[in-house]
Chains A and B, each alone.
Chain A
Amino acid sequence: MYINEIYAHTIYPARIRIAKWKVPKGLRTLREFLAFYKLKGLSIRRIDHPIAFELYAKFSTRKVFPDELLRDFIVELIKVLLSSHDIRVMFSPELFEYMDYGITRKRTLKAEPPEAYIRYSRDGIYFKEIDITHYLRYVLKMLDTKYKLGVVE
């Protein structure tokens, strides 16, 4: 039995450049800073992009989950997530392209139930969690019928 954990995250890289303009004093919040940034013509496309955005999925399989399948799995999961109105409204589809994807596999005797969630933080301090286990189950069912991985429910 294998427990597969897939973890994806986006963190905006800290770009340090010598400023050609001085940041005025008194900017206290990120929103104020972004508004100032926009004034200078350096705005990012959406100001409601989360600062941290993570996706976690855990599931057990009887066979090894190969790397080649990871791509299919992620593409399918993203497709399913973006087809849901709630998630499409909250997050831009590009976010999934900026992510780093990591996988860890553990060999165990006991299977664990599938579990998946999206975590995001818009201010860098507080995280919110959205349970997406039902989407994961749907994708796993689809992949299992196609590749016979022996997914344990």
Chain B
Amino acid sequence: MKVYTLKLDIDSKSKRVKSEIAKRMVFLQKFLGNKSFKIKEVETKKGYHIEITFKPKIDLDDKDLVFMQLLLLSDWKRELLNWVRVKNNLKNWNVLFNKKFRMKNGKLKLVSEEVRR
């Protein structure tokens, strides 16, 4: 059995979104037939970065992983681009930043950052 990692970029801190993700995760877990999900959650300025490691009974490809990330409410724009990257067989398609910067007048400004707890 292979180990897979899902990387979710959640742009909301509301409890409703969190409970919706949990609901979907439980369903997905039952559907894939794996015993447990290993979850690592890091808070960001807007929401959360979540890393889920799991061992399903079936083999999955990169497109399946993109679909699952979208199903678990990850940022839709990110997932659309991930899907295009996977479709074009590009490496390193699943990226989550620890820190994000934007350039303004030739200077880099910190836009968002993961908060370690």
Contact = CB atoms under 8 A, between A and B. Distances in A.
Interface of A: 5, 7, 9, 11, 52, 56, 58, 67, 70-71, 74-75, 96-105, 119, 121, 124-127, 129
A101 B112 CA distance: 11
A98 B102 CA distance: 8
A119 to B, nearest CB: 6
Contacts of A52: 81, 84
A103 B99 contact: yes
Given A74-B108, A101-B108, A127-B90, A121 B84 contact: yes
Contacts of A126: 88
A104 B103 contact: no
Interface residues of B, number: 22
Contacts of B96: 104
B101 A102 contact: yes
A101 B85 contact: no
Interface of B: 77, 81, 84-85, 87-88, 90, 92, 95-103, 106-108, 110-111
A134 B107 CA distance: 25
A142 to B, nearest CB: 18
Given A75-B106, A102-B101, 10 more contacts: A5-B92, A7-B95, A11-B77, A71-B108, A74-B103, A101-B100, A102-B98, A103-B98, A104-B97, A127-B85
